[in-house]
Amino acid sequence: MIQGNKLDNRSTVTEFLLMGFSDDRDLQFLHFSMFLFIYLTALMGNFLIIIAVALDHHLHTPMYFFLVNLSLTDICYISTTIPKSLATSLTNDKTISFAGCVAQVFLVITCAGSELVLLTIMAYDRYVAICYPLQYILIMRKDVCFHLAAASWLSNLIDALLQTCTSFSLNFCGSNMIGQYFCDIPQLQKISCSDTKVSKLVIFMTMIIVDSFCTGLIFVSYGYIFSAVQKIPSVQGKYKAFSTCIPHLTVFSFFIITGVFSYMRPKALSSRTIDLLSAVFYTVLPPLLNPIIYSFRNKDIQAGIWKMPKEVRQVEDSNK
């Protein structure tokens, strides 16, 4: 909705229209079916990891503590955008309130940032475990893990607050149609009727500083890890080390490439289809793929999932 402003005779946007998908009802139903399947699969996969780690005391280690935090982040991440998109497809009501748009932007930035920082912390955890195995328990103490996880959430809440305030300090006095299935900062900048240089600069500087630091730390960590793994004499030892590192590196590479492409690609590579696909790649696929990759490549998680019925029965028996 657009209301007139008596003070400056301009129009002020009070709600937005999410125009990311087709108006065709058949295509909307297809979108609803696909996104519902993806959403339920992502929820089930991430909840399975959380429950498996919680019930299996063998998985109460720093690596799986951070994996649980990553799963919690993924649940929040995908729940920020998909349910609204499902409701839009089902009801054909594309409106989202101004406050709802603010909340989406804030939560997407928080969850995306937390995902990046957690993946960086997990790389550091693997570095310590492989390069300093004898000092691992001392370095990755329980209090250290809690502080690292808390710092991840707190720092990204502050970053999200900064970027959200900067984005919504812009004036929206013309079109209220967002060419995306959720409120995305690049799309908001496109429809703003004020100068977006400051907003774009904040995003650019944040991504350069944070992404460069996290990416650099991860690649340095894996440089030391691969160097240390090459010194392991047994083939089985090398395989075990690589089996815990390759999934993490795959998840990180996919996430950082799609995220950077979505926010920093040149205008020449921007179109409705590309914008939509890139957004799906960095907001929907990571929460879906993370549990699949970690479950398929991690025998400990697989064992924990298979033992879940037994663990549940033991808990029930102990409560009787």
Token pair of 224, please? 């030391």
- Do the Cβ atoms of 255 and 115 come closer than 8 Å? yes
pLDDT of res. 136: 92
pLDDT of res. 8: 44
Token pair of 127, please? 């570095």
3-state SS string for 74-126: HHHHHHHHHHHHHHHHHHCCCEEEHHHHHHHHHHHHHHHHHHHHHHHHHHHHH
CA dist 216 and 2 (Å) reads 45
Who's near 11: CB < 8 A, 6+ residues apart? 2, 3, 4, 5, 173, 174
pLDDT of res. 68: 93
- Nearest partner of 180 among 193, 190, 172, judged by Cα: 190
List average pLDDT for each run of 10 residues in the chain, which is 320 residues long: 45 78 81 92 92 85 91 94 90 88 93 90 88 90 93 91 88 81 86 81 80 85 84 73 72 76 67 77 85 73 70 59
H helices of the chain, in order, are 25-55, 62-91, 98-131, 136-139, 142-168, 185-191, 197-230, 235-264, 272-283, 285-297, 299-306, 308-319
pLDDT tens-digit profile of 44-61? Answer: 999 988 988 888 888 888
Q: How far apart are the first and last CA of the chain?
A: 57
What residue spans define the domains of the chain?
A: 2-319
pLDDT tens-digit profile of 255-264? Answer: 777 777 776 6
DSSP state string for 254-271: HHHHHHHHHHH--GGG--
- Total H helices, total E strands in the chain: 12, 5
Specify the CATH number of the domain 2-319: 1.20.1070.10
pTM of the predicted structure, to 2 decimals: 0.84
Please count the other Cβ atoms lying within 10 Å of the Cβ belonging to residue 250.
Answer: 15
pLDDT of res. 15: 84
The angle at the Cα of 30, spanning 29 to 31, to the nearest 5 degrees, equals 90
Strand 10-13 to 95-97 pairing: unpaired
